[in-house]
């Protein structure tokens, strides 16, 4: 018996063949992503042509044909590209506006403090968030206010008639003390009638009053800083002041409005809803017009508001309405069980909100809040319509300056402004996307 082994058994694998040439490498990628069908191929070519058609002149204008240095407009008069020399000459004005040159270190200091407070706040891993928040919300605004305006306000008071006491800081202090005492007394009375522990009602109020008193003392102290009126502020400074103040001030107001809208008390809920819908229904321009031409009419005689303050009030109210809707979305996303659980534990309304609901709801809406900050940041440009000089306004004003006016100056300024705004907004939107992803992970 002979065994013939004419069958062939291969006991090692064939080496893998290279994939077809047209599915790998650059060619493969091109085929798959750009020319998968004839229609796609045509589209790709059209889009490519479009990109070349739009991007080339832009690059030519901003880089190749641009004028980079020069003393005045003569270098840009015949230029066909951007006049960066003008941006260089005016950069300080774009940042500080008419803020006196010798005092600009104060603005720089505020920017640095802001960064010191903000950066660790934005990085989730850095500890001491509570302390950081206290610095950002409680300390930074006061310091920034004193640094930017110069502080040293003279409070003389007006409620006590001059015949009783001459106008002086002392009169103001007495007035404030009387005022605080009345408030605390009323609260104590209310607590007594409602049968609650008096100290629990009055202590927080006393703390708030004390905090306000400290602020008032601080802003009335003379730190030897030259006062700088807001009329001289401008540029990026105004943009940031309007955006950040509007945001910070609108935040608590927005929470109140959101809670108000979801309240069980019909009057509160109706009032909040009307407030929110009215502000959301009208354009910011009309709000700013209102703040600039109508607000003075609303005030008693002799009371005046600074132009910047008027814009801030308008922006804050406007922003609060949008913020309220964002926060309401967060509140609605909290499962009912959380409310019921909190109530079952015997927590009061404010305790429930403060300890259970808001911490969860606010965490959810962080991306939404960043988003609404982005739109506020972009909207700050509208203040130029009521005559404030923000970053864009300052650029626009300087483009027509006798020293630098040229056919390309205006366009250069707009492109520069666009790049700066874009950098800010894009960074913020990336951050919002980052927190959103982080939240998603956390929830899973």
Partner 1 sequence: MYRKIASILAGATMALMAATAASAGTLEDVKAKGFVQCGANGGNLIGFGATDEKGEWSGIDVDFCRAIAAAIFNDPTKVKFTPLNAKERFTALQSGEVDVLSRNTTWTMSRDSSLGLQFVGVTYYDGQGFMVRKSLGVSSALELSGAKVCTQTGTTTELNLADFFRSHNMPYEVVAYEKNEEVLQAYEAGRCDAYTTDASGLYAERLKLTAPDDHMILPEIISKEPLGPAVRQGDDKWFTLVKWTLFALLNAEELGLTKANIDEKKTSDNPEIKRFLGIEGDFGTPIGLSSDWAYNVIKQVGNYGEIFDANIGPSTQLGIARGLNNLWSKGGIQYAPPIR
Partner 2 sequence: MLVLGWLVWDIIENTARNLQKANIAAGYGFLERTAGFGIIQRLVPYTEASSYGRALFIGLLNTLLVAGLGIILATILGFIVGIARLSSNWLISRTAAAYVEILRNIPLLLQLFFWYFVVLRSLPGMREKWTLFDGVHMNIGGLHVPRLVPGEGIWLVIAAVPVAIAAMLVVTRWAHAHQARTGIRPPVGLINTALFIGLPLAAFLATGRPLHIDLPVFNETGPLLRRGFQAGSGMTIIPEFVGLLLALTLYTATFIAEVVRAGIQGVNRGQTEAARSLGLRSGQTLRLVVLPQAMRIIIPPLTNQYLNLTKNSSLAVAIAYPDLVSVGGTVLNQTGQAVEIVSIWMLFYLGLSFLTSAVMGYFNKRVALVER
Interacting partner of 28 out of partner 1, partner 2, none (Cβ under 5 to 8 A depending on kind): none
- 68, 85, 219, 260, 411 from 390: Cα distances, Å: 25, 21, 25, 34, 18
Q: Of 8 and 298, which has the nearer Cβ to partner 2?
A: 298
Yes or no: say if 125 and 110 are a contact pair by the CB < 8 Å rule: no
The angle at the Cα of 387, spanning 96 to 277, to the nearest 5 degrees, equals 110
Interacting partner of 34 out of partner 2, partner 1, none (Cβ under 5 to 8 A depending on kind): partner 2
227 CB neighbour count, 10 Å cutoff = 10
Interacting partner of 269 out of partner 2, partner 1, none (Cβ under 5 to 8 A depending on kind): none
Instruction: List, as one string, the DSSP characters of 11-76.
Output: -SPPPPPPPPGGGSHHHHHHHHHT-SSHHHHHHHHHHHHHHHHHHHHHHIIIIIS-B---SSGGGT
347 binds partner 1 (CB under 8 A): no
307 binds partner 1 (CB under 8 A): yes
164 binds partner 2 (CB under 8 A): no
Q: Which of residues 252-271 bind partner 1 (CB under 8 A)?
A: 252-253, 256
Minimum distance from CB of 39 to partner 1 (Å)? 41
Residues 439, 61: Cα–Cα separation, whole Å: 42
Q: Which of residues 100-139 bind partner 1 (CB under 8 A)?
A: 100-101
402 binds partner 1 (CB under 8 A): yes
Interacting partner of 33 out of partner 2, partner 1, none (Cβ under 5 to 8 A depending on kind): partner 2
135 binds partner 2 (CB under 8 A): no
Minimum distance from CB of 303 to partner 2 (Å)? 9
Judged by CB under 8 A, which of 74, 298, 336, 442 binds partner 2? 298
Interacting partner of 411 out of partner 1, partner 2, none (Cβ under 5 to 8 A depending on kind): partner 2
Give the HSE-up count for residue 237: Cα atoms under 13 Å, Cβ half-sphere. 32
154 binds partner 1 (CB under 8 A): yes
Yes or no: say if 86 and 409 are a contact pair by the CB < 8 Å rule: yes
Q: What is the DSSP letter of 264?
A: S
225 binds partner 1 (CB under 8 A): no
Q: 417: closest CA among 400, 392, 434, 383?
A: 392
**If DSSP codes are grouped into helix, strand and coil, which group holds residue 390?**
strand
Q: 238: closest CA among 143, 307, 290, 305?
A: 307
209 binds partner 1 (CB under 8 A): yes
- 34, 166, 337 from 46: Cα distances, Å: 12, 80, 55
Judged by CB under 8 A, which of 208, 221, 345, 423 binds partner 1? 208
Interacting partner of 128 out of partner 1, partner 2, none (Cβ under 5 to 8 A depending on kind): none
Residues 181, 178: Cα–Cα separation, whole Å: 5
321 CB neighbour count, 10 Å cutoff = 22
Q: Which of residues 391-410 bind partner 2 (CB under 8 A)?
A: 392, 396, 407, 410
Compose the 2-41 pattern: x for residues touching partner 1 by CB under 8 A, - for all others.
----------------------------------------
> In 3-state terms, the chain is what percent helix, strand and coil (to 5)?
75, 0, 25
Interacting partner of 68 out of partner 2, partner 1, none (Cβ under 5 to 8 A depending on kind): none
Residues 91, 275: Cα–Cα separation, whole Å: 40
Judged by CB under 8 A, which of 82, 85, 146, 284 binds partner 2? 284
CA–chain centroid gap for 211, Å, is: 25
Minimum distance from CB of 435 to partner 1 (Å)? 25
Please give the span between the terminal C-alpha atoms of the chain, in angstroms, as a whole number. 70
Residues near partner 2 (CB under 8 A) are 33-34, 36, 40, 43-44, 47-48, 50-51, 267, 271, 277-278, 280-286, 289-290, 293-294, 296-301, 374, 378-382, 384-385, 392, 396, 407, 410-411, 414-415, 417-418, 421-422, 425-426, 429
Residues near partner 1 (CB under 8 A) are 73, 77, 89-90, 93, 98-101, 153-159, 167, 172, 175-176, 179, 183, 187, 204-205, 208-209, 212, 216, 229, 231-232, 252-253, 256, 292-293, 296, 299, 301-307, 350, 384-387, 396-397, 399-403, 405-407, 410
């Amino acid at each position: 018996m002979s065994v013939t082994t004419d069958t062939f058994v291969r006991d090692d694998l064939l080496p893998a063949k290279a994939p077809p040439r047209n599915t790998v490498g650059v060619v493969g990628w091109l085929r798959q992503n750009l020319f998968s069908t004839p229609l796609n191929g045509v589209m790709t070519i059209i889009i490519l042509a479009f990109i070349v058609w739009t991007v080339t002149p832009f690059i030519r204008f901003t880089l190749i044909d641009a004028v980079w240095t020069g003393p005045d407009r003569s270098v840009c008069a015949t230029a066909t590209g951007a006049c960066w020399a003008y941006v260089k000459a005016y950069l300080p004005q774009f940042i500080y506006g008419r803020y006196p040159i010798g005092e600009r270190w104060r603005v720089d200091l505020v920017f640095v403090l802001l960064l010191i407070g903000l950066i660790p706040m934005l990085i989730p891993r850095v500890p001491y968030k509570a302390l950081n928040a206290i610095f950002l919300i409680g300390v930074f605004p006061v310091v920034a206010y004193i640094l930017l305006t110069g502080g040293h306000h003279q409070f003389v008071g007006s409620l006590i008639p001059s015949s009783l006491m001459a106008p002086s800081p002392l009169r103001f202090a007495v007035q404030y003390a009387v005022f605080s005492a009345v408030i605390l007394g009323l609260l104590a009375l209310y607590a007594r009638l409602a049968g609650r522990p008096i100290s629990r009602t009055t202590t927080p109020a006393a703390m708030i009053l004390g905090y306000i008193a400290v602020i008032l003392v601080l802003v009335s102290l003379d730190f030897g800083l030259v006062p700088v009126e807001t009329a001289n502020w401008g540029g990026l400074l105004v943009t940031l002041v309007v955006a950040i103040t509007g945001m910070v001030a609108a935040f608590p107001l927005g929470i109140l409005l959101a809670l108000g809208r979801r309240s069980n008390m019909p009057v509160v809920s109706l009032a909040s809803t009307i407030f929110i819908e009215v502000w959301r229904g009208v354009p910011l321009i009309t709000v700013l017009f209102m703040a600039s031409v109508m607000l003075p009419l609303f005030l008693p005689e002799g009371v005046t508001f600074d132009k910047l303050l008027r814009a801030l009030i308008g922006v804050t109210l406007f922003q609060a309405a949008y913020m309220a809707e964002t926060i309401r979305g967060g509140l609605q996303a909290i499962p009912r069980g959380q409310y019921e659980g909190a109530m079952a534990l015997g927590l009061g309304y404010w305790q429930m909100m403060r300890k259970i609901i808001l911490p969860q709801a606010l965490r959810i809406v962080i991306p939404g809040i960043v988003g609404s900050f982005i739109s506020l940041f972009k909207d700050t440009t509208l203040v130029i319509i009521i005559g404030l000089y923000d970053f864009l306004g300052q650029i626009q004003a300087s483009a027509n300056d006798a020293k630098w006016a040229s056919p390309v100056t205006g366009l250069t300024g707009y492109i520069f402004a666009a790049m700066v705004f874009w950098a800010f907004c894009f960074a913020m939107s990336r951050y919002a996307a980052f927190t959103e992803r982080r939240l998603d992970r956390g929830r899973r």
